[in-house]
Amino acid sequence: MVDAPTAGSEENAADAFLQGGPSLRNASGPYFGSYGGRWMPESLIAALDEVQDTFEKAKADPDFIAQLKDLNKNYSGRPSLLTEAKRFSEHAGGARIFLKREDLNHTGSHKINNVLGQALLAKRMGKTRVIAETGAGQHGVASATAAALLGLECVVYMGAEDCRRQALNVARMQLLGATVVPVTNGSQTLKDAINDALRDWVSNVEHTHYLLGTAAGAHPFPAMVRYFHEVIGAEARSQILEQTGKLPDAIAACIGGGSNAIGLFHAFLDDASVKIYGFEAGGEGVETGRHAAAISLGRPGVLHGARSYLMQDEDGQTIESHSISAGLDYPSVGPEHSYLADIGRVTYEAVTDTEAMDAFSLLCRTEGIIPAIESSHALAGAIKIGKRLTEGKENPSDVTVIVNLSGRGDKDVETAAAWFNMLDEEGHVKGTTLSTRKPKGPTERTSEAAVDVNEDQN
Amino acid sequence: MTEEFASKSAAAIDRAKAEGRAALVGYLPAGYPTVQESIEAGIALARNGADLIEIGIPYSDPVMDGPVIQAATTEAISNGFRVANVFDVVAGITAATDAAVLVMTYWNPVMRMGVDEFARRLAEAGGAGLITPDLVPDEAHEWFEASDRYGLDRVFLVAPSSTPERLDMTVKASRGFVYAVSIMGVTGTRTSVSSSAEDVVARAHAAGAERVCVGLGVSNPDHVREIAAYADGVIVGTALVAALRDGGVDAVGQLTKNLSAGLGRAAAEA
Ligand SMILES: Cc1ncc(COP(=O)(O)O)c(C=O)c1O
C-alpha cells in the first residue's frame, strides 16, 4: 500500500502515482493513508481478527476461489454485460456511454458479489447466523438470498424510514425467510441500522457474522468488500477493450459507502489516462445542508470503526444525511475513497435528487432500462462529464465513459411515481383505480407480511 | 500499568481497598436531563457512596449502549447539551466532592475538539481521565501523548473475547484501572452477572493489572456483592440512569446507598 499518513506525503503519493510510481491497487488496509483503522470496541476486535484471518486464508485457497467463481457464474449470472447506451449518449455531449450492468445480477444489484463472498466466509467460520444492515434494501435482499442459499439464519436491520421508502424490498426479504428489524433510533436510516447491527453483533458474536454491505467500517471490511467487488472493474476493463479497442476516458459510479464504486475503480486505478469520478448524493442541494455528500463537504472523523470523511457538527456529533436514495443516505464513506480523494486520483462530486431523477427518467425512456435511484446519480454524473470531456471535440464519440449501473429500479418505482406526480391523493397510480368490480381471488389469504408492508406505506 | 504520577482513579480505588472493600463506580450522562441536574446527580452519587464517577458524553451514535442510556443521551442532546459542557459537569462535581471523576466518551467528539485540547480542558476541570469504549490502544497514539502530558488516566476495556496477547497489551496501556466488560453485549440491566466476568478479572490481574473494575449489567446490591468478592471495583450505569429518569436526584442517592451496601468483602464471604 501507499503509506501516506500526512497531507504532505499524500501529495507526494499522487505525484509518484502520476509519474508511474507505486501501484494504487495493492491497498490491503487497515490504513489507506491516514484513513481506515479499527475504531471499535475491544469486544469486537477478536471477531474482526477472525474475519480477517479467514478472509486471508480463503483468498489463498483455490477451493474457495473456485466456489466463489461458480456462484458468480451459475447463481448471479456473471459476467454482467457492458451495454452501450446509444440513445442516452446523445444527452451526454455525444460521448459514448457504456453501462456496466450490475442491475442484471441475481437480486438486482452489485450487492450480491460481496454477500456471496462473505456468506461463504461465515460458513468457513462455522457461524450459523448472519446479520446485515440495509438502506435501499438491496443489501438486505442479497443477504437474505445468500442466507437462504447456504442455510444460514438471517436478521436484517433497516431504518424505519427506509422500510417505508423501500417497502417492496422488505417483503422480498421476508419472502426469503429473513427477519427484518425496523430501526427507530436517530435518523431511522442506514447509519442507525448499522448501530443496531453492531449492538447485535457484540451480543451474539460467537455464532453470528456481521455481513457488512459496503466498503466501509473497521478493518478488514473495506479491503474485503472491495475484493469481492473487484470483479466488476476486472470484467468492465476487458469488455471495454474488446468493444472499443481502448481504455475508457472516464469511469463513474455512485457513492453510498462506496462498494460498487471501489469495485469498478480498482481495475483502473493504475491506468493514469482514465479519469475516475465518484458521485455522492447532493440531496436537495449541498448549499441546503440536506445532502449526503460526505467527501465533498465533510471532514475526517471516526464512525462505525473507520476514520474517514464524515458529516459532523462542531461537537463531532454525526449530522443526519438526506437523499432521495436510501442506498446513498449515509453520512460517511469508505476510507479508501477518502484517501483516493485526498491524493487526487478520484474526483468526487455531488449530484442532487433532481439531477438524479432526471437521469433516471432519461435512461428509462432512451434505453428501456429502469435504473436504481442510487445508480441514477452516476448516470447524472456521466451526463456532466460526457459534456465536459467532449467540449470542443471534433469527434465527441471518441470519448468513452463507463458508468456502473449498480442496480435496477424496481424497488424505486413507488418513489419515482411520487416524484413524477403519477399518484392520486390516495397514493394509487393515477388511472389504475377506475374499475368498479370487487377484486377477485384469495384476498383473505394475504399473508401478514404483506399486510405489514401495506401499513408501512400509509 | 504505567504510573509515573499519582493517578486519581488509582488513589480512589486504593482508599476503598484500605477500608477493606471494593470501590463503587457510578455512571451518569452529562447534561441529562440538564447540565445542572447532572451535576447534582453526580454529587448525590459521591455523597452516597460512589468512590469514582464516570460522566458520559452524549453522542449521536452510541454503539455500546442499550436502550436506557441511548434514550437519556438522546434527550440530553435534544435539550441542548454541547460537548464542552462536560467540563462544567466535571468541575461542578470535583468542586463539591472528593470522588475521582472520569469521562466516558466515544472517540469522535474528542477527535473533533482535538485530543490535546480536550485533555487539557479535562485536566483543568479536575477530571481524572477518560474511559474510551470505542478506542483500543492500537489507535490511541495521540491519546497516549496527551494523557501523559496532562496527567490523565487511560481506562481501556478488556472483554471476555480478548485474547491473552490483547489483554496483556491493554493492561500495559491502561492507567488508573482496567475496565473489564462482564459480558459480550451493550449496556443495560441484566438479571444476573455473567460468569465470564470473574474469568476476565482473573486474567487481567494475571496480566499485571493492579486494579480491575467490572461493568455492564450490574444493577443491584446482590450483583455488587458478587463482583466485589473478586474485583477491585464495581461499575453501575443503566440502573442509575433509570433511577434518575424515574425518581430524580433523590432516587440516584437512594440507589447508590443501597448499592454501596454490597461492597464489603466481609459481607460477600458471609
Ligand atoms: C443499487 C445500489 N447502488 C448503490 C448503492 C450504494 O452502496 P455502495 O456505495 O456501497 O455501492 C446501493 C446501496 O444500497 C444500491 O442498492
Task: Identify the weakest region by mean pLDDT among A368-377, A426-435, B62-71, B143-152.
Answer: A426-435
- Determine the residue of A328, A333, A377, A413 to mutate for testing ligand 1's pocket, defined as the one with the most ligand atoms within 8 A of the Cβ atom: A328
- CB-based contact A327:A280 (threshold 8 Å): no
| A109-168 per-position pLDDT tens digit | 999 999 999 999 999 999 999 999 998 899 999 999 999 999 999 999 999 988 987 888
Give me the pLDDT at residue B217, please. 85
The per-residue pLDDT string of chain B (270 residues; one tens digit each, 9 = 90 and over) reads 444 578 999 999 999 999 999 999 999 999 999 999 999 999 999 999 999 999 999 999 999 999 999 999 999 999 999 999 999 999 999 999 999 999 999 999 999 999 999 999 999 999 999 999 999 999 999 999 999 999 999 999 999 999 999 999 999 999 999 999 988 888 887 787 778 899 999 999 999 999 999 998 898 999 999 999 999 999 999 999 999 999 999 999 999 999 999 887 444 333
Looking at residue A436, its pLDDT comes to 73
DSSP letter string, A201-239: HHHHTTTEEE---SS-SSTTHHHHHHHHHHHHHHHHHHH
Give the gap in angstroms from C-alpha B254 to the nearest C-alpha of chain A: 31
Tell me which residue of B249, B224, B135 sits closest to A38, measured CA to CA: B135
Distance A14 CA to ligand 1 centre (A): 27
For every residue of B16-32, which 3-state class applies, written as one string? HHHCCECEEEEEEECCC
Distance from CA of A59 to the nearest CA of B (A): 25
Q: Indicate if the pLDDT at residue A263 is higher than 50.
A: yes
Min Cα distance B103 → chain A (Å) is 16
C-alpha span between A66 and B191 (Å, rounded): 48
Q: Do B61 and A195 touch (CB under 8 A)?
A: yes
Smallest CA separation from ligand 1 atom 1, residue: A407
DSSP codes joined into one string, A97-136 = EEEEEGGGSGGGBTHHHHHHHHHHHHHHTT--EEEEEESS
A6, containing H or E segment: none
Q: Name A3's Cβ contacts closer than 8 Å, sequence gap at least 6.
A: A9, A31, A33
Cβ atoms B180, B212 nearer than 8 A: yes
pLDDT the model gives residue A399 = 98
Distance A136 CA to ligand 1 centre (A): 7
Positions of E strands within A265-419: 275-283, 299-303, 306-310, 346-352, 400-405
Q: Could you tell me which residues are beta bridge partners of residue A180?
A: A156
Partner B, chain A 36-65, Cβ-Cβ below 8 Å:
37-47, 49
- Is the separation of the CB atoms in B16 and B98 below 8 Å? no
Q: What residues of A are annotated to the active site?
A: 111, 133, 406
Which residues of chain A have a CB within 8 Å of the CB of B112? 301, 312, 314-316
Q: Give contacts of A316 with chain B, Cβ < 8 Å.
A: 59, 83, 108-113
pLDDT higher at B217 or A202: A202
Fill in the DSSP letter of residue B178: E
Question: Which atom of ligand 1 is nearest the CA belonging to A256?
Answer: 9
Distance CA A306, CA B76 (A): 26
Digit-coded pLDDT (tens) for B181-196? 988 888 887 787 778 8
Give me the pLDDT at residue B221, please: 92
pLDDT band of A432, cuts 50, 70, 90: confident
Mark yes or no for CB contact B61/A191 under 8 Å: yes
From B40, B51, B54, B153, active-site residue: B54
Residues forming beta bridges with residue A182, ordered by sequence position: A158
The chain-wide mean pLDDT, for chain A, equals 92
Q: Tens digit of pLDDT for each residue in A312-324?
A: 999 999 999 999 9
Q: What angle do CA A341, A347, A348 make, to 5 degrees?
A: 80
Over range A54-69, report the average pLDDT: 98
Interface test with A, best of B81, B161, B183, B203 (most A CBs within 10 A): B161
What gap in Å lies between CA B44 and CA B47, rounded to an integer? 5
Which residue of A48, A200, A315, A318 is the best one to mutate when testing the B interface, meaning the one whose CB has the most B CBs within 10 A? A315
Establish whether B250 is a catalytic residue.
no
pLDDT at residue A449 greater than cutoff 80: no
Chain A hits for B63, Cβ within 8 Å: 41, 195, 198-199, 202, 304
Choose from A35, A53, A187, A199 for mutation: most chain B CBs within 10 A.
Answer: A199
- Comparing alpha-carbon positions, the chain B residue that sits nearest to A318 is B60
Amino acid occupying residue A402? I
At residue A2, the pLDDT reads: 40
Quote the CA–CA distance of A191 and A158 in Å, as a whole number: 9
More confident residue, A26 or B52: B52
Pick A41's closest partner by Cβ from B60, B70, B157: B157
Question: What CA–CA distance (Å, rounded) separates B182 from B159?
Answer: 7
To the query of whether residue B139 is one of the catalytic residues in this protein, the response is no
Q: How many residues does chain B have?
A: 270
Question: Ligand 1 pocket by C-beta < 6 Å: which residues?
Answer: A 109, 135-136, 138-139, 214, 254-261, 327-328, 372, 374-375, 406-407
Q: State residue A17's pLDDT score.
A: 65
Q: Which three cell numbers mark A7?
A: 497531507
Cell numbers at A321, concatenated? 444525511
Report pTM: 0.93
Q: Is there a contact between B264 and B228 (Cβ–Cβ < 8 Å)?
A: yes
B175 within 8 A of B151, measured Cβ to Cβ: no
* pLDDT value at residue B27: 98
Tell me if A64 sits within 8 A of A139, measured CB to CB. Answer: no
Contacts of A40 in chain B (CB under 8 A): 134, 136
DSSP B93: H
Please tell me chain B's helix, strand, coil percentages from 3-state DSSP, rounded to the nearest 5: 50, 15, 35
pLDDT at A381: 98
Bridge partners (DSSP) of residue A280 are: A350
CB-based contact, A91 to chain B, within 8 Å: no
pLDDT digits (tens, 9 = 90+) for A71-122: 999 999 999 999 999 999 999 999 999 999 999 999 999 999 999 999 999 9
CA-closest residue to ligand 1 atom 6: A256
Q: A127 near A209, Cβ under 8 Å?
A: yes
User: pLDDT at residue A456 above 70?
Assistant: no
